[in-house]
Structure 1
């Protein structure tokens, strides 16, 4: 009797798991279709003409193929190349620096034998709730550190992220203590344990945090707005924003009055220009993400087990 009841309960459990998996797969399929469809819509709309968008709306398949939006974006190819270069440099250097800081800080506050780990953990968490504010930060960067109009002004303000440190801490706490205790018995120092044992076991969370840092640096435009006046140091996102603003100004009545041109003569693409800018900005990331994908989910789930 008990055996039959166990078999029935097991069948019900298996059925429930199958239903949950089926629903999850269906939702993920719809989400995937939505994401891919959105990107195809952006890509197709970037090749539409301004008049076509105004008349028929955005479309995945343009009625008439046009490169006017990309011509507007690459009207100054030298500036685009410079902005790409600055963005790539700041993304690589910033990601490496941020990853080193997050990993080392996360490891320190994850060790149970470290006396001040609770105080430092609270200090890290406190910075997630409150910060110094815009004006003190601007004074610190420009007046004290003298980083205005330097590439370091685009790197250092984003190099430390409290949330990434907490993720690292959670992952490191999930590593078996027996491995590190065995290394200590063999005479390994903390530096040896960290670089020789902990980091090789932490590839999932390292890849995940590296991806987060890279996305943050790549999409940043605010630091360029605050700390950079030199056009050669403009990041890609900020330069594209400037191009869009100039295009909108030239299409306005004030712009036509300043330029002394008619509405037809001063017409500049704006609707398709937005889509072309998205393609130009997001394109390189599409080739980067697959290299991190196999670590991404594991890094998030394991890093969030313990706080």
Structure 2
């Protein structure tokens, strides 16, 4: 029988405790979301609520609810925006990692400056309106599609680790730069591309600012925008009618329910990208 060392017991115990610290808050959020509002007011948050209630979910999910349409808008926004942003990031990083490209350091400095300074909100809004990115899906995708310099430098540093001899042999065999970039280099960059995909995907999933600034049509509201509107409507009803009628609206449980409905789906991305995530972060950050 294999002996278990004391160090192994300590490591497994610490990992288990850390895992519980990560899981228990989500369990608490879910339990509060199915707790009656009066019980929350009397007893606060609890893992074992005295009174169960699905009123918070009924306020958001009902026949004809716009929630499902918002889910669809968000999914299209996440898939299309993330794909385009990753492609742009990769093809901006690839030439900057190629030592034969002139002025690559100057271009890198140009990208870096954009991460420190920006033109401001008013020019951004005017440009979006001038390009007809208003009340359409482009308004939700294009303004956030421009890659962040951090992700670009992460991909560039990873590409620098790809053996130069591999690319040179492809050039000798007659392969062009586009073929080298797409068929040789890109498959080797799976870890870092998976990492930036996760970054862009989470950014699009949590996006609400573009909807506030550029969308007036409620049928184009993404999930975050709709849930924020539901919360504000319930808060307003509580202030207007709650005091006079004694009606108790599920304000706290709705907050927790929105967390469950927004965080839950994006969590499923992590198991598919986890094996690439750490490798992409480490290998993409070791070079300057």
Q: Does 1:293 align with 2:274?
A: yes
Report the TM-score when normalising by structure 2. 0.93
Q: Does 1:256 align with 2:238?
A: no
- Residue 209 of structure 1, CA deviation: 0.8
Count how many residue pairs are aligned between Structure 1 and Structure 2. Answer: 282
Report the TM-score when normalising by structure 1. 0.87
Root-mean-square deviation (CA, aligned residues, Å) is: 1.9
Please name the residue that 1:48 is paired with: 35
Please name the residue that 1:304 is paired with: 285
Q: What secondary structure does 1:78 align onto?
A: coil
Distance in 1 (CA, whole Å) between partners of 2:104 and 2:59 is 53
Cα 1:22/1:198, change in 2 over 3 Å: farther
Pair member with larger Rg? 1
Unmatched tracts of structure 1, length 5 or more? 1-17
Distance in 2 (CA, whole Å) between partners of 1:167 and 1:158 is 18
Unmatched tracts of structure 2, length 5 or more? 1-5
- Residue 93 of structure 1, CA deviation: 0.2
Deviation string, structure 1 residues 241-271 (Cα, Å, up to 9, x no partner): 000001111111xx239xxx83323x31101
Please name the residue that 1:146 is paired with: 132
- Residue 131 of structure 1, CA deviation: 1.1
Distance in 2 (CA, whole Å) between partners of 1:165 and 1:298 is 16
Q: How does 1:159-178 map to 2 (within 5 A)?
A: 159-160=145-146, 161-178=148-165
Distance in 1 (CA, whole Å) between partners of 2:9 and 2:164 is 38
Distance in 1 (CA, whole Å) between partners of 2:223 and 2:64 is 12
Cα 1:89/1:264, change in 2 over 3 Å: same
Q: Does 1:216 align with 2:203?
A: yes
Distance in 2 (CA, whole Å) between partners of 1:270 and 1:172 is 49
